[in-house]
């Protein structure tokens, strides 16, 4: 889509607990597990206390990359789903020369599990 990526416009600020709780007040617990098979980076794990909107790409040549896990979170949260899994593609690119680049081919398999604060007890 060729537009310049500006991370500051797309992330909810910072990895702090307060920020997360304000953005997602109905979440009691969350666990994200992720694996980047191409770079053999396994078992990345985030919970509510250290959740952040992006996971860094492990490709050292990658610029402005990362995995937009907040998109998954927003979708699950909006639908009140407890689990989601799939594959995310890195949004970064690899510089190939002075003015050209190719997209980063890194991908990440993820599993997200959310526990909600229940307002009513279901029997």
- List residues binding Zn ion (CB under 5 A): 57, 59, 62, 65, 90, 92, 104, 106
Query: Which CB atom, from 53 or from 106, has the smaller least distance to Zn ion?
Result: 106
Query: Which CB atom, from 47 or from 87, has the smaller least distance to Zn ion?
Result: 87
Contacts of 39-45 with C-beta under 8 Å, sequence gap 24+, read 39/106, 44/108
Phi, psi torsion values for 57, nearest 5 degrees: -80, 140
- Smallest gap from Cβ 34 to Zn ion, in A, equals 13
Alpha-helical segments (H) within the chain:
17-23, 69-79
Query: Which CB atom, from 7 or from 17, has the smaller least distance to Zn ion?
Result: 7
């Amino acid at each position: 889509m060729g537009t310049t990526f500006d991370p500051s416009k797309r992330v909810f600020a910072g990895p702090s607990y307060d920020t997360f709780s304000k953005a997602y007040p109905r979440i009691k617990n969350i666990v994200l597990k992720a694996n980047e098979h191409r770079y053999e980076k396994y078992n990345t794990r985030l919970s509510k206390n250290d959740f952040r909107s992006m996971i860094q790409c492990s490709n050292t040549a990658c610029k402005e990359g990362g995995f937009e896990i907040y998109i998954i979170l927003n979708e699950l949260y909006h639908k009140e789903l407890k689990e989601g899994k799939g594959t995310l593609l890195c949004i970064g690119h690899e510089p190939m020369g002075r003015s050209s680049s190719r997209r980063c081919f890194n991908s990440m398999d993820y599993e997200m599990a959310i526990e909600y604060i229940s307002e009513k007890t279901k029997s």
